[in-house]
Amino acid sequence: MTSMHWDREIDVVVIGTGAGGMAAALTARIEGLSVLLVEKTDCIGGSTAVSGGVVWAPANHHAAAVGQPDSVEKALTYLDSTVGDATPAPLKRRFVEACGEMIEYFARHSEVRFAARGQAPDYYPERPGAALGGRALDPLEFDGRSLGAHFSKLRVPLSPFLVLGGMMVNTADVKHLLAVTKSFGSWKHGTQLILRYFCDRLRGYSRGTRLVLGNALAGRLLRSLLDRGVEPWLSASVKQLHTNEDGVQGVTIEYQGRTASVRARHGVVVACGGFPWNAELRESYFPKPSGPWSMAPEGNCGDGLRYAQNAGAALGTGHAGPALWAPVSIHSRADGTEVRFPHLVWDRAKPGLMAVNGAGERFVNEATSYHEFVLAMRRSHQRVPTVPAYLVCDRDFLRKWGLGLALPGRRPRGQLIRDGYLHRGDTLRELATRLNINPDQFEASVGRFNVAAARGEDPDFGKGGDAYNRYLGDPGHEPNPCLAPLARAPFYAVAVYPGDIGTALGIRCDEDARALDATGQVIRGLYVAGNDMHSVMGGHYPGAGITLGPALTFGWLAGRHLARSTESASTPEKAIWLTRKESDPNRDAATCTSHSEG
């Protein structure tokens, strides 16, 4: 490509509006570069906007304030004990050393701010270097009204994170709402939430504007970009990355019915959200059966990997697995639509729930991490059918905690039963028959579980046996916050599948997020972030937020490195194919929005 005609020139092109893409775009803009941000879908936020929003950032400055002082070396010890050699040591070190600085940088220069969880154990709390809190950060609650007209462009959260048709809630909110008749504090909190929500709806908003979880993080990133003149353009399709002997030079984009070639003077960042919805790649890299059972947006179909590979980049190797797993239940409604529920932290660890395979046998510590739960499903499936597996509980559990989309309380459940999502039996044998599993084996499994649960011990799988299990259990239940018998009929079950929350297999990169080829050489001008980047966790899942923490960190590192690029950015801009205001502070940029990630 010796005489490429460019319709436009810009410093940086970023493809993707999840945490990785927006972090890269925001950092590059803070550092003085012009930015074009492109998004193939019609909404902003990617997987980040529909996630729980937790960011794993060891050795951050918030940890000591919540009584959990941390260090780089302690965190590296933990990663060595969990990730091992699935990721190169220099990459792990760069992440751990940079993530705390990234948190402080965004706090100084943007609206992106977090609070540390004082109690939130790493997923393997008994391993060397593990922490009991401080490493998991939550984005601060955000007022979506500050986005103005852009609020409607923010990707809507998953329906399980919404109540009353559009009010966002987090775990703390749910606990208050369930206790509104038992505590004045909970009544006050719940009343304020509901009043705010109804005021929003009366003002014409399509949903509540109080944002929490990943929607708050995406909203804060978007607000920060808008403040610096970067206004995302949606439904912008990247057609091709252009390369020559010097690396990636630019992209061709189709937007609003027009096509233009854009030179990226400093480089291109690919952050399109991985490939969980690409059937061909799933078939090649996922264990069988491969789904699709993903919680990621359906637009995450491997576009970024294709762009990068066409430019010479290579996929990573040596990983423990291609995806980050979670058990997912699926409600197939009468109108043909589906609703997926990720069984992450709410129900599985609570006392009075057990999981069984197709033989009616327990196969796992139900309170283990969602990633480990699916790994156990896969192992069990090699012996007996375990896809799907079943989460089982009794009447009291269902009323107190709920089971997936069957929410807690004394609410009607007939439609969920008729649709085949929630299975009900007046006896254990009747439930086993409905699940098509051996009733004798199922009754025996429940009987053994009940005897152990009454003692508060689980000799088979150790449910409730470590700090992470107990953190997710019921602190008011003794002697074991994760164990109680299944005793009160009727009994219920929900089928769960080996789903994912995103892919871990991605493009190899160096410590500055620069893409590498098959020989380990840097491809100049090409950066990767988010789930398009080969996971720094190597397909392992050490703690809450290990997708968003690296996404933000390596997006930030990419933006910083782009700003240090020595390539001249003085070439004047050529013909502009889209109208924009001359007063736009991001004058050399345009900004669209990308695929997704989180």
When pLDDT is cut at 50, 70 and 90, the band that residue 576 belongs to is very low
Is a pLDDT exceeding 60 seen at residue 291? yes
Residues 6+ apart with CB under 8 A from 278: 301, 302
Q: Is residue 290 a contact partner of residue 282, using CB atoms and an 8 Å limit?
A: yes
What's the pLDDT at 165?
Answer: 87
Mean pLDDT of 119-133: 97
When pLDDT is cut at 50, 70 and 90, the band that residue 592 belongs to is very low
Q: What is the mean pLDDT of the chain?
A: 92
What's the pLDDT at 324?
Answer: 98
Mean pLDDT of 551-556: 98
When pLDDT is cut at 50, 70 and 90, the band that residue 575 belongs to is very low
Residues 6+ apart with CB under 8 A from 453: 351, 352, 480, 483, 484, 485
Is a pLDDT exceeding 50 seen at residue 595? no
Percent pLDDT > 70 in the chain is 94
What's the pLDDT at 326?
Answer: 98
Is a pLDDT exceeding 70 seen at residue 596? no
d(CA 348, CA 356): 12
The 3-state DSSP class for residue 536 equals coil
DSSP lists the bridge partners of residue 341 as 329
d(CA 494, CA 555): 38
Is a pLDDT exceeding 70 seen at residue 6? yes
Question: Quick one: three-class SS letters along 349-390?
Answer: CCCCEEEECCCCCCCCCCCCCHHHHHHHHHHHHCCCCCCCEE
Domains of the chain, earliest start first: 144-213 (no CATH), 324-500 (3.90.700.10)
457-497 pLDDT, tens digit each: 999 999 999 999 999 999 999 999 999 999 999 999 999 99
Residue 238: its H or E element:
strand 237-244
Q: Is residue 26 a contact partner of residue 269, using CB atoms and an 8 Å limit?
A: no
> How many Cα atoms within 13 Å fall on the side-chain side of residue 172?
8
d(CA 273, CA 500): 13
What's the pLDDT at 569?
Answer: 42
DSSP lists the bridge partners of residue 13 as 36, 268
d(CA 17, CA 597): 7
d(CA 482, CA 469): 7
Nearest to 139 by CA among 45, 252, 204, 277: 45
Mean pLDDT of 274-281: 97
DSSP code of 157?
A: P
When pLDDT is cut at 50, 70 and 90, the band that residue 572 belongs to is very low
Is a pLDDT exceeding 60 seen at residue 162? yes
CA 447 from chain centre, in angstroms, equals: 37
Cα Rg for the chain, rounded, in angstroms?
Answer: 24
What's the pLDDT at 410?
Answer: 85
Residue 489 φ then ψ, to 5°: -70, 155
What's the pLDDT at 180?
Answer: 83
Angle at 291 between CA 286 and CA 296, to 5 degrees: 90
What's the pLDDT at 411?
Answer: 86
Q: Is residue 501 a contact partner of residue 51, using CB atoms and an 8 Å limit?
A: yes
176-202 pLDDT, tens digit each: 888 888 889 999 998 999 999 999 999
Instruction: Indicate the range of 355-359, 423-427, 491-495, 576-580 predicted with least confidence.
Output: 576-580
Structure tokens, 420: 């085949």
Instruction: Indicate the range of 212-221, 286-295, 585-594 predicted with least confidence.
Output: 585-594
CB atoms within 10 A of CB 447: 13
When pLDDT is cut at 50, 70 and 90, the band that residue 585 belongs to is very low
Q: Is residue 331 a contact partner of residue 421, using CB atoms and an 8 Å limit?
A: yes
Structure tokens, 359: 């033989």
231-256 pLDDT, tens digit each: 998 999 999 999 999 999 999 999 99
Nearest to 361 by CA among 331, 389, 324: 389
Percent pLDDT > 90 in the chain is 87
Is a pLDDT exceeding 80 seen at residue 581? no
